[in-house]
């Protein structure tokens, strides 16, 4: 029984879940299995009143939570992670069921939350501020980092668990409470995940740290974004959503952390290891059925090796099994919805009309569910293919050719988005040119050498530039986004002295 995992995670008896719901009714959203098109269950949505109640719980939760010493907060994060570890298999399966990722990618997503939780536990003893010398005698200056407030977290459908994990584990260790609004394509994963976190925190006596609201964008999303009680809105999703959310939060002078769409390219140089490149590109282009923000959407290959590399890719694509994401051996599951399949078909039709040549794939798979064939399209001579400027959330790889590395980097940077980028090369000079410290190489937030564009580790800061929104989450010093900085100056002497030598006698 495909839906056995709902029982195992206790969702069938959860008061918000409507088992047997078949279509969206007022106040209820149904989650569908994209591999079959069949309903899984419904969830009761929030309205203005229940939103207000939950937000107040978050505000009260924050007021208590910020008083818990950071290393003690770390121990609560550890308990949350233990809860998630114990349910890793079930949560991974639920992710596969609800958004169509293959089993190992569903499990990998849960592992990402476990990893960032470990990171946050370590961080709980390292929320360091700086001290700096004062220009005045008997004065001291230091910076301290303080809890910020309840943080609104809005997540995309394609990482229905880990994006919450990145935000929630860091935000919570910083002393913030977390109010999560997930995508309505994956409400069951959100409910199961949040229940584990909330229960672990409450067992240790901390209420209101992990809260969840679910609702329509126009009703709940917009309300949350405009809410001045949420000093930070961290939103992951399309550039369209980011433009709206960024503007509303800026209007109230709030802080936003935006993780938006990508249009990621791989450059392949003549001296690259082509076997390695073919593997890296195939995983990055077709993994998660092309529904990662970091999916490789453009291949920019030196003209001297284009024929060889394309032949390898077409051969690799022919061996990829598309089908049930929970079945052994499947590498590509379904797209999230019928609308996504139509978006795929529209992009391919546009590419053809613009002179692109479909080398493999190009049509939906004739089966129930939202399956499509991974597709490679070669741009016409002159490399002008306007459709390749858009992020189509599907496994379509556009191929361009180049003569010089400068030309390739210009082509790679010549789109609106700036998330992930990669070069395959055997040359130290080319690799360093691509990563140039002058900022004249890749203009993306992520730059890889001899790897594809997907598959970041949690240790580094994750995010992108330009229309990708400029936010950074996950490792490194991303935690600073979830705190407020205070510069403290202390006069421990008895003289009144002013900075810059100003005299005021
Ligand atoms: P989406 O923009 O349709 O929705 C994302 C989230 O925003 C959902 O929770 C949605 O309900 C919410 N939302 C939309 N409009 C809103 C509004 N006006 N007010 C408040 N909330 C609103 O995106 P999607 O289809 O779920 O996800 C795919 C997109 O997300 C792709 O563009 C992908 O590249 C991007 N993405 C980016 C990253 C990253 O880290 N950069 C990670 C994952 C996904």
CA distance 58 to 48: 15
CA distance 303 to 297: 18
Per-residue pLDDT at 123 exceeds 80: yes
Q: What's the pLDDT tens digit per position in 198-213?
A: 999 999 999 999 999 9
> Domain-by-domain residue ranges, the chain?
4-260+476-486, 264-465
H or E stretch covering 42 = strand 38-44
Distance 152 CA to ligand 1 centre (A): 14
| Residue 3: predicted pLDDT | 86
Over range 83-99, report the average pLDDT.
98
List residues near ligand 1 (CB under 6 A). Answer: 154-159, 181-183, 217, 221-222, 225, 236-238, 241, 244-245, 259-262, 293, 391, 393, 419, 464, 468
| Residue 252: predicted pLDDT | 98
Over range 340-366, report the average pLDDT.
98
Over range 311-315, report the average pLDDT.
98
Per-residue pLDDT at 215 exceeds 70: yes
| Residues near 273 by beta carbon (within 8 Å), at least 6 away in sequence | 424, 426, 450
CA distance 313 to 391: 21
- Give the residue from 488, 446, 448 showing the smallest Cα distance to 471: 446
Atom of ligand 1 nearest to the CA of 240: 2
Among 100, 162, 237, name the best residue to mutate to test ligand 1's pocket (greatest count of ligand atoms within 8 A of Cβ).
Answer: 237
Over range 157-186, report the average pLDDT.
98
| Radius of gyration in angstroms for the set of CA atoms belonging to the chain, rounded to a whole number | 24
Over range 475-488, report the average pLDDT.
98
Q: What's the pLDDT tens digit per position in 10-48?
A: 999 999 999 999 888 889 999 999 999 999 999 999 999
Domain 4-260+476-486 has CATH 3.40.50.2000: no
| Residue 1: predicted pLDDT | 60
Per-residue pLDDT at 114 exceeds 80: yes
Percent of the chain with pLDDT over 70: 100
Among 156, 244, 420, 444, name the best residue to mutate to test ligand 1's pocket (greatest count of ligand atoms within 8 A of Cβ).
Answer: 156
- 251-257, long-range: CB < 8 A, 24+ apart: 252/226, 252/228, 254/228, 254/230, 255/148, 255/231, 255/481, 256/232, 256/471, 257/232, 257/233, 257/471, 257/472, 257/473, 257/481
- Give the residue from 19, 180, 181, 31 showing the smallest Cα distance to 100: 31
Per-residue pLDDT at 312 exceeds 80: yes
Distance 220 CA to ligand 1 centre (A): 14
Q: What's the pLDDT tens digit per position in 420-446?
A: 999 999 999 999 999 999 999 999 999
Distance 318 CA to ligand 1 centre (A): 31
C-alpha distances in Å from residue 15, one per residue of 11, 12, 42, 45, 203: 8, 9, 11, 11, 20
Domain 264-465 has CATH 3.40.309.10: yes
Residue 131: count other Cβ atoms within 10 Å of its Cβ.
11
Q: What residue owns the CA closest to ligand 1's atom 42? A: 293
Mean pLDDT of the chain: 97
Over range 265-290, report the average pLDDT.
98
What tokens were used for 288?
């998660």
| Residues near 300 by beta carbon (within 8 Å), at least 6 away in sequence | 265, 266, 267, 268, 400, 401, 402, 408, 411, 412
Atom of ligand 1 nearest to the CA of 220: 20
Just list the catalytic residues: 259, 293
CA distance 123 to 480: 11
465-466 vs 375-378, strand pairing mode:
unpaired
| Residue 23: predicted pLDDT | 85
| Residue 445: predicted pLDDT | 98
Q: What's the pLDDT tens digit per position in 222-277?
A: 999 999 999 999 999 999 999 999 999 999 999 999 999 999 999 999 999 999 99
| Residue 25: predicted pLDDT | 84
Distance 64 CA to ligand 1 centre (A): 31
Over range 83-102, report the average pLDDT.
98
| Residues near 53 by beta carbon (within 8 Å), at least 6 away in sequence | none
CB 84 within 8 A of CB 120: no
According to DSSP, the residues that pair with 486 across neighbouring strands are 144
Q: What's the pLDDT tens digit per position in 390-412?
A: 999 999 999 999 999 999 999 99
Q: What's the pLDDT tens digit per position in 136-157?
A: 999 999 999 999 999 999 999 9
Q: What residue owns the CA closest to ligand 1's atom 40? A: 259
Confidence of residue 2 (pLDDT cuts 50, 70, 90): confident
Distance 69 CA to ligand 1 centre (A): 34
């Amino acid at each position: 029984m495909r839906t056995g995992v709902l029982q195992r995670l206790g969702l069938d008896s959860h008061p918000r879940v409507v088992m047997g719901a078949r279509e969206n009714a007022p106040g209820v959203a149904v989650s569908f299995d994209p591999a079959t098109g069949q309903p899984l269950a419904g969830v009761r949505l929030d309205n203005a009143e229940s939103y207000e109640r939950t937000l107040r719980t978050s505000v009260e939760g924050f007021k208590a939570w910020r008083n818990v010493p950071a290393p003690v907060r770390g121990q609560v994060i550890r308990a949350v992670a233990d809860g998630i570890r114990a349910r890793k298999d079930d949560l991974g399966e639920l992710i596969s069921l609800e958004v169509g990722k293959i089993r190992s990618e569903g499990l990998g997503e849960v592992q990402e939350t476990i990893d960032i939780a470990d990171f946050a536990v370590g961080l709980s003893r390292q929320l360091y501020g700086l001290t700096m010398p004062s220009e005045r005698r008997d004065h001291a200056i230091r910076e301290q980092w303080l809890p910020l407030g309840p943080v609104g977290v809005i997540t995309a459908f394609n990482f229905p668990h880990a994006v919450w994990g990145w935000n929630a584990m860091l935000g919570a260790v910083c002393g913030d409470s977390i109010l999560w609004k997930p995508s309505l394509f994956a409400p069951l994963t959100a409910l199961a995940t949040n229940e584990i976190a909330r229960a672990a925190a409450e067992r240790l006596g901390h209420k209101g740290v992990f809260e969840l609201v679910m609702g329509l964008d126009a009703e709940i999303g917009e309300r949350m974004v405009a809410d001045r009680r949420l000093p930070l809105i961290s939103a992951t999703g399309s550039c369209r959503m980011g433009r709206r959310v960024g503007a509303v939060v800026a209007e109230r002078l709030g802080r936003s952390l935006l993780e938006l769409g990508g249009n990621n390219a791989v450059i392949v140089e003549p001296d690259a290891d082509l076997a390695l490149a073919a593997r890296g590109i195939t995983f990055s282009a077709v993994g998660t059925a092309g529904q990662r923000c970091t999916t490789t959407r453009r291949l920019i290959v030196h003209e001297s090796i284009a024929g060889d590399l394309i032949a390898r890719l077409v051969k690799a694509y022919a061996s990829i099994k598309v089908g049930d994401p929970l079945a052994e051996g499947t590498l590509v599951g379904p797209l999230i919805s019928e609308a996504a399949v139509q978006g795929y078909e529209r992009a391919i039709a546009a590419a053809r009309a613009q002179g692109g040549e479909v080398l493999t794939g190009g049509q939906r798979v004739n089966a129930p569910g939202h399956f499509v064939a991974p597709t490679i399209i070669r741009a016409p001579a002159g490399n002008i293919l306007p459709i390749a400027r858009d992020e189509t959330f599907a496994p379509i790889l556009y191929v361009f050719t180049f003569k010089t590395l400068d030309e390739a980097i210009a082509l790679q940077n010549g789109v609106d988005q700036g998330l992930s980028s990669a070069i395959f090369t055997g040359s130290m000079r080319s690799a360093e040119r691509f990563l140039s410290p002058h900022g004249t190489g890749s203009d993306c937030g992520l730059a890889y050498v001899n790897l594809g564009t997907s598959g970041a580790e949690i240790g580094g800061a994750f995010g992108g530039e330009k229309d990708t929104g400029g936010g950074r989450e996950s490792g490194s010093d991303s935690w600073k986004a979830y705190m407020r900085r205070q510069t403290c100056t202390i006069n421990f002497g008895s003289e009144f002295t002013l900075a810059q030598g100003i005299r005021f006698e």
